[in-house]
Structure formats: C-alpha cells, structure tokens
Amino acid sequence: MKKHEETLGSLEHIVLLAVMRLGENAYGITVRREIEQATGRDLSIGAVYATLARLESKGFVRSHTGEPTAERGGRAKRYFRLTADGKHTLRKTQELIRKMSSGLRGLGAT
C-alpha cells in the first residue's frame, strides 16, 4: 500500500490528533496527557513513544531534540510535529470513518 493511501490504526489516529492539537508543545508526556484528558484513556508512556516512532518511520511525524533542561536532569525533550503526509493520512482516515459511519443507527448520543 502506498503511503498516501494508508489509513491509521486507532492508536496512531489518536496520537496524531494529539500531536496536531498540541502544535509546538508535542512531546511524549504532553501527548500522553492530551490523550488522557480528551478521551480518559490511560496509555503507558512506552506505548506513546512506540507509536510516535512508528509514525515517524512512516513519515507522518518528524521529531527534533530541544535544549537540555535542568528540570529533566540535563536531558532534552524530543518534540514531534505533523508532516504534510501525516496531515493527508489523518484527513483520509477521518473521511473513511465518516463514510463508514454514515447512516448507521445506534451511534448517536443516548
């Protein structure tokens, strides 16, 4: 499957949405917190980083290392941002979900 035709798994989808929502402040812990606050889903930080690594290998996010900080014992944060391919794939996945959900009964608010 070509990269531009690929759709996202549910965790990839949620992580990409969190990265997009966070903008320049997207790094592992903030992505995890954003998902937890928005969905109530408690993910391990390992699952978040593994998903971010997979998304980066697919070309859907890019990362860069920030400056080391004293609060982190001199370690630097690794920041992530959505790429054009990531945004396109996110849009295609959202569209696919809308199409598959269209006209289904029983998915509305109770």
pLDDT digits (tens, 9 = 90+) for 36-91: 999 999 999 999 999 999 999 999 999 999 877 767 667 888 999 999 999 999 99
Instruction: Say what the pTM is.
Output: 0.84
Tell me: pLDDT of 107 over 60.
Answer: yes
**Token digits for 93?**
């996945």
DSSP structure string for 25-75: G-BHHHHHHHHHHHH-----HHHHHHHHHHHHHTTSEEEEEEEE-GGGTTP
What tokens appear for 56 in the block? 């980066």
Higher pLDDT, 103 or 59: 59
Query: Any residues with CB less than 8 A from the CB of 50 and at least 6 apart, and which?
Result: none
- CA distance from start to end of the chain: 38
Cβ contact 90:82 at 8 Å = yes
Confirm if 65 and 76 have CB atoms less than 8 A apart.
yes
pLDDT band at 34 (very low <50, low <70, confident <90, very high): very high
Q: How confident is the model at residue 2 (pLDDT cuts 50, 70, 90)?
A: low
